[in-house]
Amino acid sequence: HTNFTGKDLKKIRFKIGQCFYVWTVITGETRMIKEVEKEPAITPEERLDPDINSIITVPFGVRGRILGLLSIYKNKPEVFNGKDLELTKAVAEHVGLALENARLYKETKLMAITDGLTGLYNHRFFIERLNLEIDRTIRYGRHLSLLMIDIDYFKHYNDTHGHQMGDAVLKLAAELFKRNLRDIDIAARYGGEEFAI
């Protein structure tokens, strides 16, 4: 038992190359410190709490990319053994996979609702959100604005300059919308050269 709590972690900052934990991340090596008092690599600040006397720290990540460290602490020296280390490694591996799966899920979900060319929301997502906003407007008696934007002579521009230049125009229009929207606004590529906000 120590007085060290999770909220204390938010206050801790270490500079690259100056600390036991950072070095563990850089090297990717698992460390088991059986007695903190006898470990010259750990400074008093890195101990985090005077009651900490044993540490296991295991980097975790995916495909060679370190995402973080899983550290286990005990208030007595010489309490960790090889089984504790192996268990911590197994847990760290699962943590790394879970974080990567969460990232991939978020990325896949975002791809399903965004237009690949402009990065704006796609037509289907926009219609779903528009229906929700209309319901909310009616429920709370508020106002709702809808902008339908079309790029004039776009087909002619595409035919004259080619589809790559046409794509560049669509991307530029999307960037203009993104830069000028509020956080609560929703911009979408409605179709072709049509946009909706």
Q: Which residues are catalytic?
A: 193
Per DSSP, the three-state class of 188 is strand
CA gap 77, 168 in Å, rounded: 63
- Is the Cβ–Cβ distance between 179 and 119 less than 8 Å? no
CB atoms within 10 A of CB 13: 6
Between CA 93 and CA 99 the distance in angstroms is 10
At 79 the three-state DSSP class reads coil
Asked if residues 97 and 75 have their Cβ atoms less than 8 Å apart, the reply is no
Inter-residue contact 195 to 146 (CB < 8 Å): no
